[in-house]
């Protein structure tokens, strides 16, 4: 079984709402065996354009677990808050 990584490219619009959203995410990840690997702010753009200055990477034990997390009622419930707080592109990768 291969791991999956969910990568979020982020541009915060409302810092207070973003902080609220971030505080709710960990409880949605726990049932799926996910691990927050890192959050970071862009230090430089070496090539191309990057409209999202922040990033988050979460590891899941499988693609199925990542898909199930995203589709879960717990995560779906906080998506409206995420959309108010930031422009986010979420991508899933299999490793």
**Judging by beta carbons within 10 Å of its beta carbon (0-12, 13-18, 19+), is residue 25 exposed, middle or buried?**
middle
Reported as a single tens digit per residue, the pLDDT across 34-51 is: 999 999 999 999 999 999
Structural domains counted in the chain: 1
| DSSP designation for 94 | E
What does the pLDDT read at residue 30? 97
Report percent pLDDT > 90 for the chain. Answer: 99
In the prediction, which pLDDT does 56 show? 98
Structural domain of residue 18, as residue ranges?
A: 4-94
CA separation for the pair 86, 29 (Å, rounded): 19
- The pLDDT-based confidence of 68 (bands split at 50, 70, 90) is very high
* pLDDT single digits (tens) 73-87: 999 999 999 999 999
Model confidence, pTM: 0.93
For residue 57, what is the domain's CATH number?
Answer: 3.30.70.100
Tokens representing 20? Answer: 């609220």
């Amino acid at each position: 079984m291969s791991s999956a990584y969910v990568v979020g490219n982020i541009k915060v619009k409302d810092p207070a709402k973003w902080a609220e959203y971030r505080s709710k995410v960990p409880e949605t990840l726990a049932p799926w065996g996910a691990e927050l690997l890192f959050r970071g702010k862009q230090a430089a753009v070496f090539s191309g354009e990057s409209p999202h200055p922040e990033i988050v990477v979460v590891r899941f034990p499988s693609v199925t677990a990542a898909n199930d997390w995203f589709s879960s009622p717990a995560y779906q419930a906080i998506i409206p808050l995420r959309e108010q707080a930031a422009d986010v592109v979420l991508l899933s990768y299999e490793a």
